[in-house]
Amino acid sequence: MDLGTIGVIGLVLSLLSIPFLSNSITMSAISDYKYPVAGILNETDFDTQDAEKYPGTAEKTFGPNIFSYKTDTSFGSFELTATNDGTLKISQSLTNPELKIERIIINNNTLEETWVLTTNTGILKSTKNFNVVKEEFSTPAGSCFKEENMGEITEYCTGQIHKIDGVWEKHKDLMAEWSEKLANISSNIELPNIKSTQWNY
């Protein structure tokens, strides 16, 4: 793959619609998400020409093992960071007074994607790799966990379960809504030209 013509982040964002796992994944709370693990990050070449294809920035860090930028949007403060300190990692976040949503993709021999939604009433975390799908939700009333590992499903909850369900469902709706906003922001912000010495991962 020619990363000179397709930037890593552009590739990440363009592959969001690729199906994640087989149709045997039936946990609706997880499989309904539109943003699956992208089959990327197996290559480590990345240079300034690639970086110029990124969306925009108001603040940037640009070095041999890191590229990051931040900018304010109408939805909150957006930040993207790509690092390679032995493990290739890309993270995106959108933060405002109401919530924070994060997307983290790590390639440490196994490609793994995590979405985290944090509000003042709870934290929803969805993690996927090619064998395991996990969802965790915690709130002051209690917490729940779901996992599907190679077809074996585990679920458990603790606390006041009758107070958890409604808040959990609301967070899943927020996750779907704000993950789409995060993707749209990533694809629409313009990046100023980067003037820097050449660098490689």
Task: Map out the domains of the chain as residue ranges.
Answer: 8-188
Would you state the pLDDT for residue 38?
A: 31
Which tens digit of pLDDT belongs to each residue from 53-107? Answer: 544 446 666 777 888 878 777 788 888 888 888 888 889 999 999 999 999 988 8
Residue 142 has pLDDT above 90, yes or no: yes
pTM: 0.66
Strand, coil or helix: 147: strand
133 within 8 A of 153, measured Cβ to Cβ? no
Task: Give, in order, the Cα–Cα distances in Å from 69 to each of 66, 138, 177.
Answer: 10, 30, 23
Task: Assign 188 a pLDDT band (cuts: 50, 70, 90).
Answer: low
Both ends of the chain: CA-CA distance in Å? 16
Region class of 25: left (phi > 0), else alpha (psi between -120 and 50), else beta: beta
Q: Rounded to the nearest 10 degrees, how much is the dihedral formed by the CA atoms of 30, 34, 40, 46?
A: -120
